[in-house]
A = this chain, B = another copy of it.
């Protein structure tokens, strides 16, 4: 990140404005008796597009059923925006640039965390909320240093700079990686994402990523998490600790080394597979034969173990944050592995994580029932690869082998159907591409008039600021 004088000035002005600007509600004007806090709960399904939404509805509620999401009174679509370094528009995004749009309003480059296309830090809705006296939290099933949570409280130019070890460069996934030298602590920067999160104004931070916090701060004898503890941050590592979070002070909960384990997998760990195609068909598409992969069932992931559910983390965060501020709260909740399991061609994995999102939504709505001015928003960062295909093919009656050129999983549904999911965006192992469709948008009744039927991610950002009465000063000239 580069922190310009102008943006420092802007933050100072913003802080001042936020402390002195009249609130949108009656809270500030009278006694605490008349105070009604305002809160925003932003739930992000990573890679959660309409194909994934429908997959989950078909599996979890049945084809004629209704998800909790479907019952929400506000629904729309969000267009994704991405620019290349030369300023050209790109039509598919990643979680870093899109979470940065939601968090800061900037339209930026793939891979950027809280920084705009000119590598300038952009103030986030969480930072503004914290400055204004709201309690703040980030909850994710990924590493908390992963792109989505990171974009709300850190500022680096490349998302892979999650911990100190890599931030000044090195090797990543077997490839040389230049790191984020301008952000590295040893170069006078604010450090890796983990280092920045250790200092960030996030009251409650829950998810995975212990690996990055357990790395040493360059030039110091402490790890990132030891440094945080020395500053008074309460650190938890076990699901059971969620039940008795302290009612004040900062909390960092790290429940896995990297991303949290997902809830479900396919039979015996199977993911989507290629059709078995005869050699004759390889010579001429009209000849030979093909055999589809056998159907699979969704089963519990045996590695899930003591992983806390997204709903449990969400409930703990909401309870803890509500105790911390009379003004209200800002909480971002991410079901991260809808996307990660789609990359891996595992529809059961994605569906289980959408079930987690549904449960987290239910927790948010219960909180909103008890706390009237709570705006609940659900959206996604970008679309993903999975597609629901006809089972059998529309062309099954033609006496020619017909099959996907990609990989297919045939998932048995509880209602007795077989849902065929196709992954065919590239030839890579375990790494499908994102796709570029607009993504769903949902809101509770409070969202009526706050959200619009069609928005961009920067509009959602502005809507959250407006609802919380926050004033964003332009951090770019």
Which A residues form the contact surface with B (CB < 8 A)?
49-51, 53-54, 57-58, 62-64, 66, 70-77, 79, 81, 88-92, 94, 107, 110, 173, 175, 285, 383, 385, 387-391, 393-395, 397-406, 413, 415-417, 419-420, 422, 424-429, 431, 433-440, 453-454, 456
Contacts and interface: CB of A to CB of B under 8 A. Distances in A.
A350 to B, nearest CB: 14
Given A50-B77, A438-B53, A394 B433 contact: yes
Given A81-B64, A428-B402, A437 B390 contact: no
Nearest to A424: B424
Contact of A77 (B75, B79, B385, B399): B75
Contacts of A389: 92, 425, 433-436
Most buried by B among A57, A420, A436: A436
8 contacts: A49-B437, A71-B454, A88-B416, A285-B429, A394-B431, A402-B426, A404-B425, A404-B427
Given A88-B416, A436-B54, A427 B403 contact: yes
Nearest to A456: B64
B51 A436 contact: yes
3 residue pairs, one from A and one from B, having the closest CB atoms: A388-B436, A424-B424, A75-B453
A100 to B, nearest CB: 16
Contact of A405 (B73, B76, B405): B405
B50 A453 contact: no
A454 B394 CA distance: 27
Contacts of A401: 427
Given A77-B440, A405-B426, A422-B425, 9 more contacts: A50-B77, A51-B436, A58-B89, A58-B436, A75-B76, A395-B426, A395-B433, A404-B425, A405-B406
A145 to B, nearest CB: 19
A376 to B, nearest CB: 14
Contacts of A58: 89, 91, 436
A438 B428 CA distance: 28
A417 to B, nearest CB: 5
Nearest to A93: B390
A170 to B, nearest CB: 15
A453 B62 CA distance: 18
A134 B77 CA distance: 34
A427 B277 CA distance: 11
Contacts of A454: 66, 70-71, 75
A361 to B, nearest CB: 14
A66 B175 CA distance: 41
A395 B79 contact: no
A417 B345 CA distance: 29
A1 B206 CA distance: 60
A326 to B, nearest CB: 33
A200 to B, nearest CB: 27
A451 to B, nearest CB: 11
A416 B390 CA distance: 36
B438 A424 contact: no
Contacts of A427: 285, 401-405
Contacts of A420: 91-92
Nearest to A281: B427
Given A54-B438, A425-B422, A81 B66 contact: no
A416 B49 CA distance: 26
A456 B64 CA distance: 8
Nearest to A177: B397
Nearest to A441: B75
Nearest to A398: B175
Contacts of A387: 385, 387, 425, 435-437
B437 A50 contact: yes
A329 B369 CA distance: 44
Contacts of A431: 394-395
B79 A388 contact: no
B453 A415 contact: no
A167 B387 CA distance: 35
A89 to B, nearest CB: 4
B453 A72 contact: yes
Contacts of A398: 173, 175
